[in-house]
Structure 1
Amino acid sequence: MFKILIIDDDPTMRAILKRALQNQSYDVTVASDGEVGIAQAQQIQPALIVCDWMMEDLNGLDVCRLIKANPKLATTFFILLTARQEVEDRVMGLDAGADDFLAKPIDINELKARVRAGLRLYQLNQDLQAQKQALETLNQDLQHQKQLLETELAEASSYVRSLLPTPLIGSVTTESLFIPSAQLGGDCFDYYWLDNDHLVFYLLDVSGHGVGSALVSVSVLNILRSQSLPNTNFYQPSAVLKSLNDTFQMSDRDDKYFTIWYGVYNRAQRQLYYASAGHPPAILLAGTTNLQVKHLDSSGLPIGFLPDAMFEQDVISLPESSTIYIFSDGAYEIPQPDGRIWGKEAFVQLLVTSHQQNTSLKHLLSQLQVLNHTHNFADDLSIIKIQFNV
Structure 2
Amino acid sequence: MAKGEAARPQRTSRRKAGAGTPAGPDMVQLLTPEGERIERSTGANGVEYSVDFSDEEYRGLYRDLAIVRKLDIEANALCRQGELSIWASLAGQEAAQVGAGRAMRPQDMAFPTYREHGVLYCRGIDPIMPLSLFRGVDQGGWDSDKYKFNMYTIVIGAQSLHGTGYAMGINFDGKVGTSDGEAVMAFMGDGATSQGDVHESMVYAGVFNAPIVFFVQNNQFAISEPLERQTRVPLYQRSSGYGFPGVRVDGNDVLASYAVAKHAMDHARTGNGPMLVEAYTYRMGPHTTTDDPTRYRESAELEEWKAKDPILRMRSFLEKQKVADDAFFASVDADAQEIATDLRDRVLAMPNPQPVSLFDNVYPHGSPLVDAQRAEFTTYHASFEGSAH
TM-score, normalised by the number of residues in structure 1: 0.25
User: Which structure has more RCO (C-alpha within 8 Å, separation ≥ 6)?
Assistant: 2
Judging by fraction of residues, say which structure has more helix: 2
Structure exhibiting the larger radius of gyration computed from Cα positions: 1
Of Structure 1 and Structure 2, the greater strand share is in 1
